[in-house]
Structure 1
Amino acid sequence: MKLRKIITLTEDIHTEGGRPVDPIARTAVVLAVIENPWAGQGYVTDLLPGIDEIAPQLGELLAPRVVEALGAPVEAYGKAAIVGLDGEIEHGSALIHTLKFGDHFRKAANATTLLPAVEKRAVAGGAFDIPLKHITDATIRSHHQSIEVRVPDGPRADEIVIGLAAASQGRPQARLAPLASEQ
């Protein structure tokens, strides 16, 4: 894996809807900007060798960092793969849609649900939203949220931005009825 940089972001929401948020709602994001191992090769039929090599390294690198940055138990989580213009969306998907990547975060967060994801192709500096859902029950509406992020100088055409996001709670001031109330 050819890593260019790691970015760590946190957001603390103190007030929402004109009311204090107690406890403060924290979200953390960790992004790795890596060289796309398949860029410039044309259509690559077998992505597995790259997946086997890079996905576990990324999971091992990012999962503990995002949990540490959050500084609280993880209640919601998500992932992202943003591919530069010389790559395919499938290149990013290959790295994040494997247990070799996601299980690192599941274990670090004591989670059991699938990680929601965003995958897209974008120019450097393109904004993207990482979706988050509850770590053990994806039907808990209060934890359906997203965080917008961007890397000002990435992904370059031959790069992929891989990210993990975690939240310490659901949306600030969440008040939707549980899904069960409609079933």
Structure 2
Amino acid sequence: MNVRKISTITELVFTEGGRAVPAPVRTAVVLAVIENPWAGQGFVQDLAPGIDSVASDLGALLAPRVVEALGAPVEAYGKAAIVGLDGEVEHGSALIHTLKFGDHFRKAASATTLLPAVEKRAPAGATFDIPLKHITDATIRSHHQSIEVRLGDAPRPDEIIIGLAAAAQGRPQARLAPLSSEQ
């Protein structure tokens, strides 16, 4: 795995809708810009060797960093892969949609639900929204949220941005009725 850089973004929201929130709403994102392990190989049918050589190490690298950056217990989480223009969306999907990657974050966050994800192919500087859901119950509406991120110089055509996002709570000023109220 060749990492060009790691970026950490933290956010504290103090007001929403013109009203103060009871406590600052904390969100953190850690992004690794890596060389696409399939770059320059043309169409690769069997992605397993690249997954085996990168996914677990990448999950182990990012999971503790995003938890540390959040600085609070994780209540919502998500993941992302943004592939440079010379790669395929499947390259990013291959790295993040495996237990070898995701279980590092599940363990670090004491989570049991599937990690929501976004993946796409885009040029450097593209904006993307990482979806987040509750770590143990994906039906908890207050924790359905997203965080917008971008890196001005990534991904280069032969790179992939892999990211993890964490929130210490639900959306600021969340007030939707529970899903069970509609069933």
What TM-score, normalized by structure 1, do the two folds share? 0.99
2:82 is matched with which residue?
Answer: 82
1:141 is matched with which residue?
Answer: 141
1:19 is matched with which residue?
Answer: 19
Q: 2-side partners of 1:76 and 1:42: how far apart?
A: 37
The answer for unaligned runs of 5 or more in structure 1 is none
Q: 2-side partners of 1:60 and 1:21: how far apart?
A: 33
Q: 1-side partners of 2:32 and 2:116: how far apart?
A: 18
Name the aligned partner's letter for residue 137 of structure 1: D
1:138-164 Cα offsets, whole Å, 9 max, x none, are 000000000000010000000000000
Q: 1-side partners of 2:20 and 2:2: how far apart?
A: 43
The answer for unaligned runs of 5 or more in structure 2 is none
2:159 is matched with which residue?
Answer: 159
1:42 matched to 2:51? The reply is no
What TM-score, normalized by structure 2, do the two folds share? 0.99
Q: Secondary structure at the match of 1:86?
A: coil
Shift of 1:19: 1.0
Q: Secondary structure at the match of 1:95?
A: helix
Q: 1-side partners of 2:165 and 2:21: how far apart?
A: 20
1:168 is matched with which residue?
Answer: 168
1:182 is matched with which residue?
Answer: 182
Runs (4+) of structure 1 exceeding 2 A deviation are none
1:46-90 Cα offsets, whole Å, 9 max, x none, are 100110110001000000000000000000000000000000000
Name the aligned partner's letter for residue 112 of structure 1: T
Q: 1-side partners of 2:33 and 2:22: how far apart?
A: 34
Q: Secondary structure at the match of 2:22?
A: strand
Q: Secondary structure at the match of 1:172?
A: coil
Shift of 1:174: 0.2
1:33 is matched with which residue?
Answer: 33
Q: 1-side partners of 2:40 and 2:4: how far apart?
A: 18
Q: 2-side partners of 1:174 and 1:153: how far apart?
A: 34
1:92 is matched with which residue?
Answer: 92
Within a 5 Å distance, the mapping from 1:115-126 to structure 2 comes to 115-126=115-126
* Aligned alpha-carbon RMSD (Å): 0.4
Aligned length: 183
Shift of 1:18: 1.1
